[in-house]
Every structure is written in C-alpha cells, then in structure tokens.
Chain A
C-alpha cells in the first residue's frame, strides 16, 4: 500500500484487446469493475476525464475475483468494451490482484494520480457524489490540473467510495 508522495508500483497487464500495456507517466490508475453500481455510476465521468486529458495515460484495472463474480470475468470485460465501441483507456484484469494490493485499492472505483516522476499525487474518489453527474469528477480534475501546472494539490487524498474489492479467498 502506498501513500501520497510514494513511488507508485509499475505494472504490465493485458487489456481487453489482448495487448500488454506498458507503464507510462503521468498516469491515472482507476480500479473499477463491471458489477458495482458505484463504479457504473461514475463510469461516464471518468471516461470523459480521459478524453479531456490527452497528455495523461489512463489505466482502468478490474481487480475483482472473477470466479466469485462472473460479471467481472475477462470475457465480460471484453464484451463491455465491445458493446461501448471502445473506451478511451485500456481496461485490464488484475488476475493475481498484485497490482491492487500494491496500490492498496479498497473499492471500485478507487482513483490514483501519478506524476511524471512516478510519485503518487492523489488518491480517492472521483468527486463528492456518485449521484450528481454535474460534479464531473471534479476532485480528480482538480488534482490533474494542479499536478500538470506544477502546483501543490489542495486535496491530495479523499475517501474512496464504492464496493469493496473482491479479494480471492
């Protein structure tokens, strides 16, 4: 588990196109999944952030145990991306859950912002209210704007809100 200012774990995971994605920074790492209503409620806002910040590398990672949660299987992930006609970020399955453990992911969603030097700069929820689309992932956007401007992030950490990560038993 990492804290603000720590080096974020690098990773290589396979995306739904079967390609192994190389780790590049600055980055936003989003732990998310198919079955959680919180992840689904925030999904469109997070996709739009990825479209708006083209100089930042976005990674969506599903950390859940697909044996107990078949809706989070790799096949289900592929089908979801296909149905959406593609995502603006790779969607990857953390089969061993090592990446999620390395980051200390607690929920889906759980969002981590990493600067160009690989240090963690923000961790938490996309914004204050999953129900209010007008929030527009404002906490994440504020963190990105400050980081890219070389400024301190006013709110570097918020409580992640969502379904607990489904760890293998």
Chain B
C-alpha cells in the first residue's frame, strides 16, 4: 500500500492530518510509511493534481475525492465531518474506511 500526504505550508492543518493518518494506520495494523509531498507552487499543484492541503492518497486515490472541476492550486481544502461540521482535515473515520478498503 502506498500512502501519501500532500501538503502546502500556507495551511496549518497538515500536522493534524498526518497525526490522524499515522494513528489510524497503526490502529489498523497497516505497516505503511507515509510519504510526505510538499507542494510549493501552482505549477507543481497542477502537475500533482493537488486540490488543496491536506490531500491524502492511498494507492494513488484521494481518500475524499474532490468534486469534478475542482481547480488544482495552493489552497486549503474544506472537508466535512460526518456530523456535518466544516473542517480543514478529513474525518478520521473517512481515513479509516479508506485504509480498510485498501488493506
């Protein structure tokens, strides 16, 4: 399993996303290392198909696929928790479901 965390320094959310991701990988018994990819400019964002920070991909798939037409740019992603709250990081249960699907 390949696990990537793509992040941009303009958003302070990536440490929380990384901590959630590593905790869930550990809890699920998945021995995958997280590859961290810093996105530094718009050209790289387009090249990496980066819809915003943080983005988590497992085996190349975004765990919360963005809507069609979402631009690739240096921005912060808006996620929804399962209770409907807006959040700068994915709901941990969405991360867990993605890990289980890929395991």
A contact residues vs B (CB 8 Å cutoff) = 35-38, 40-41, 68-70, 130-131, 133, 161-164, 166
Contacts and interface: CB of A to CB of B under 8 A. Distances in A.
A37 B13 contact: yes
Contacts, number: 39
A37 B12 contact: no
Contact of A35 (B12, B76, B79, B85): B76
B86 A161 contact: no
A37 B85 contact: no
Contacts of B10: 163-164, 166
Judged by DSSP, the binding face of B is loop
Given A35-B78, A68-B73, A41 B11 contact: no
B77 interface: yes
Contacts of A133: 85
Query: Which size class do B's interface residues fall under?
Result: 10 to 19
* Those 7 A-B pairs whose CB atoms lie nearest each other, nearest first: A37-B88, A164-B10, A37-B78, A163-B76, A40-B86, A41-B86, A36-B76
A131 to B, nearest CB: 7
A37 B73 contact: no
A163 B88 CA distance: 10
Contacts of A131: 85, 87
A33 B77 CA distance: 13
Nearest to B88: A37
8 contacts: A36-B76, A37-B76, A37-B78, A40-B78, A41-B85, A41-B88, A133-B85, A166-B10
A162 B76 CA distance: 9
A161 B12 CA distance: 8
Given A131-B85, A166-B10, 6 more contacts: A37-B78, A37-B88, A41-B88, A70-B71, A161-B12, A164-B11
B74 to A, nearest CB: 8
B12 A41 contact: no
Interface in B1-42: 10-13, 42
Contacts of A130: 88
A135 to B, nearest CB: 13
B49 to A, nearest CB: 18
